[in-house]
Amino acid sequence: GIKVNYDTFETNEALHAKLVAGNTGYDIVVPGTVFAKGQIEGGLLQPLKKDQIPNLANLDEGFMKTLDKADPGNQYLVPWAWGFTTVGINKTKAAKALGDTPMPENAWDLVFKPEYTSKLKKCGIAYLDSPTEIIPVALHYIGKDAYSNDPADYKEAGAMLAKVRKDIRLFSSTMIDDIAGGKACVVVGWSGDINIAADRAKENGSKDEIEALLPSTGALLFADTMAVTKDAKHPNNAAAFIDFYLRGENAAAMGNEMSYPTGNKAAMDKLKPEVAGNKTIFVESDYFAKMIQPSSFTNEAREAMANVYNGFKKGK
């Protein structure tokens, strides 16, 4: 057998910094598609040994097409899981904080519109602490391309965010604990984490109902993908591990445990009904079509994004 040494990282930015520095000691990494394109182009990853990974045949062809922007022809990336960045709420606490103000048609208003944030700050608003999660959604909200290369668009997104900055309680990568533990009643977070928080609240006997929302203008789709590092010491073991993960029962185990959907066709009949039937895990096809599809940024756009995000976070 293969002994697996497993490390976690909090954000894509942290993994990217390790890859750029080199000598990571990793054979497989799991970047989001937003970063993977640049990592492929920068020579940080190596092409898959597809002849050693027969279970690639289990992957859904339609889903693999969504990875094309990051990895044309699917030469480097294998989906681990996918999901979307969206708004999660503690329905009980949010309703109390909003009082007479009804829920908006577009859930993004809850975190980007002062009319709502000024009330919800009472029970706590948390943003994922990652520019590549927050800024694309902010751009989309103001009607710009979520992966814009125009610096002026980033300034405009920053101006919109500045209006709600005083209402944001937390910038966090521990969203599950924050919303399940009551530090926040509204979050910008990953769909699976919000669903895990909902399960955890139930297990703890909480009467509060936590829910991942589906904003009317679409949520930010992402795919976390397995890739083999350029300097992998054990590339054959890496291929064997990827093939092992792509067995239907293993991909299903991930979906059942983590509340994230899989792009693996062979896993679908092995998912728990409450996972397969949850419309905030496996969204309806018409909503999937509405989602902001994964893409990537130029280096200039990434710099503009980092500057806007850091200024926003510091309240400048």
CATH number of the domain that 271 lies in? 3.40.190.10
Q: Do 127 and 254 sit in the same domain of this protein?
A: no
Q: Do 303 and 167 sit in the same domain of this protein?
A: yes
Q: How many structural domains is the chain composed of?
A: 2
7 domain-assigned: no
Residue 49 pLDDT: 97
18 domain-assigned: yes
Q: Do 46 and 93 sit in the same domain of this protein?
A: no
Which structural domain range is residue 253 located in? 12-83+221-286
Residue 10 pLDDT: 84
Q: Do 264 and 215 sit in the same domain of this protein?
A: no
What whole-number distance in Å separates Cα of residue 30 and Cα of residue 51? 21
Q: Do 111 and 193 sit in the same domain of this protein?
A: yes
Q: Do 73 and 133 sit in the same domain of this protein?
A: no
Q: Do 92 and 215 sit in the same domain of this protein?
A: yes
Q: Do 199 and 308 sit in the same domain of this protein?
A: yes
6 domain-assigned: no
291 domain-assigned: no
Q: Do 118 and 232 sit in the same domain of this protein?
A: no
Average pLDDT by stretches of 10, the chain with 316 residues: 91 92 95 93 97 98 90 96 96 97 98 99 96 96 96 97 98 89 94 93 90 97 96 97 98 94 96 95 94 88 95 92
Q: Do 171 and 94 sit in the same domain of this protein?
A: yes
1 domain-assigned: no
Q: Do 46 and 169 sit in the same domain of this protein?
A: no
Residue 125 pLDDT: 98
37 domain-assigned: yes
241 domain-assigned: yes
Q: Do 249 and 196 sit in the same domain of this protein?
A: no
Residue 299 pLDDT: 85
